[in-house]
């Protein structure tokens, strides 16, 4: 790849009249190109994270534990406790989960943090449960190139009933 110095050296070999033509065909060296590339990458990663959130919700709402656990990073320190909690809760009460909104807090390489608002409502079962809205800080990490849940920390809880 050309460095900025190499580009300047090449440009000096041509007459002044040809500089605008050469400069206009070198968008690769334009800082805006790098910014657009960075924005495109963030949009792509955001779409992948959205797909993870969708799969996570679809799996838990279908009470499909295996599918749900596939949204978690296999090395997550919360993996086993999450599995046990999900298994016991689906036997006791029917819940509906939904992400109301979310935003990327940090996105660097293979790690992301998102702040999500999640509403959980009871739709059946005999167990006591209070509908609630949580604000959760999720840390995501990539596993084999795909985003997975690493840890989740409840930031606040609001009971709705």
Give 74-126 pLDDT, tens digit per residue.
Answer: 999 999 999 999 999 999 999 999 999 999 999 999 999 999 999 999 999 99
Q: What is the mean pLDDT of residues 51-68?
A: 98
pLDDT at 90: 94
Percent of the chain residues topping a pLDDT of 90: 73
* Whole-structure pTM value: 0.76
Give the helix, strand, coil percentages of the chain, each rounded to 5: 45, 35, 20
Residue 122's domain comprises 4-159
pLDDT (0 to 100) of residue 36: 76
Q: 159: Cβ–Cβ under 8 A, 6 or more apart, which residues?
A: 130, 131, 132
Q: Is pLDDT of 3 > 50? A: no
More confident residue, 7 or 149: 149
Mean residue pLDDT of the chain comes to 85
Strands annotated E in the chain: 94-108, 111-124, 132-143, 146-159
**Is residue 35 very low, low, confident or very high in pLDDT (cuts 50, 70, 90)?**
low
Q: What pLDDT does residue 14 have? A: 36
pLDDT band at 39 (very low <50, low <70, confident <90, very high): confident
Tokens of 14: 């041509």
Domain count, the chain: 1
Give residue 37's pLDDT band: very low, low, confident or very high (50, 70, 90): confident
**What span, in angstroms and rounded, lies between the C-alpha atoms of 155 and 161?**
19
Q: How far is CA 119 from CA 57, 71, 160, in A?
A: 11, 19, 9
| Cα 83 to Cα 87: distance, rounded to the nearest angstrom | 6
Return the CATH number at 100.
Answer: 3.10.450.50
Q: Which comes out higher in pLDDT, residue 9 or 85?
A: 85
* pLDDT at residue 26, rounded to an integer: 45
């Amino acid at each position: 790849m050309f460095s900025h110095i190499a580009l300047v050296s090449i440009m000096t070999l041509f007459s002044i009249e040809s500089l605008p033509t050469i400069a206009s065909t070198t968008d690769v060296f334009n800082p805006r190109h790098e910014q657009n590339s960075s924005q495109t990458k963030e949009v792509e990663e955001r779409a992948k994270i959205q797909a993870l959130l969708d799969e996570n919700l679809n799996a838990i709402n279908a009470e499909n534990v295996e599918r749900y656990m596939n949204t978690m990073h296999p090395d997550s320190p919360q993996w086993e406790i999450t599995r046990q909690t999900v298994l016991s809760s689906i036997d006791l009460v029917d819940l509906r989960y939904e992400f109301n909104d979310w935003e990327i807090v940090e996105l660097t390489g293979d790690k992301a943090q998102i702040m999500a608002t999640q509403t959980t409502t009871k739709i059946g079962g005999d167990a006591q449960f209070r509908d609630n809205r949580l604000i959760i800080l999720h840390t995501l990490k990539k596993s084999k190139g795909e985003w997975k849940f690493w840890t989740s920390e409840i930031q606040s809880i609001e009971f709705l009933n």
